[in-house]
Homo-oligomer: A and B are copies of this chain.
Amino acid sequence: MITTESTSKRSGTPARGDSTEKYNVRLHDILESAAHLFAKKGYHNTSIRDLASELGTSLAGLYYYFETKEDLLFLISQNSFDSVMSSLDKKFSMEHRPHEKLRILVVNHMQYFVSHLDAMKVLAHESESLSGSYYEIITEKKKKYIRLVEQLLMDVLRNERARVPKRTTREIKIAALSLFGMMNWTYTWYDPDRRNGSAHIQKIANEMVDLFLRGFTAHFCTT
């Protein structure tokens, strides 16, 4: 389900007798097309009329699925965070070593990233375009994800039996944000059309996590 309690108040929900699955498939297509247009033309420069034209449907047909353009931006953002976190939860269940959990997180993030480049570009460029409770919900999801990385970094240090002085919590935040920078900047240079994309991005993700973890442990465990 893409819709949540908070969105069902503002966006459409399946009418009686309609198939929930059919509804979800159609909503998924709408969100993909919206992400494509937002990434290409910018959120503010895209109209619902553009979206209807891209999908070859009527405006009325679209408004059955959402009420405002901001609903779409919210659903794209929420869907991205929820998908990344849910696939991560599954992969984490069999692993307890913090180094390896961080590696899994980076690979999972990059794999989602390159297979959803439009949505990731929208998240990077348009996060300030959300307002009110939509902005708050997405900001909370983003913070939760960053806190998870910070927690893993603390666990990495504890695992190395390194003493972690209080002052380093700020430095760990900078390290976590640096890691997000390494991962997220990829959208500016990665070629999504290359062959063996999945194996290639896995290789890049592993190189990044090696580079990062070696620097991180060397930096915090020797000072």
Contact = CB atoms under 8 A, between A and B. Distances in A.
A15 interface: no
Nearest to A177: B189
A44 to B, nearest CB: 5
A175 interface: yes
Contacts of A213: 215
A151 interface: no
A177 B181 contact: no
A204 interface: yes
A9 interface: no
Q: Which 7 A-B residue pairs are closest in the complex by CB-CB distance? A: A215-B215, A181-B185, A214-B218, A42-B42, A178-B182, A214-B215, A181-B181
5 contacts: A42-B44, A125-B125, A211-B215, A213-B215, A218-B218
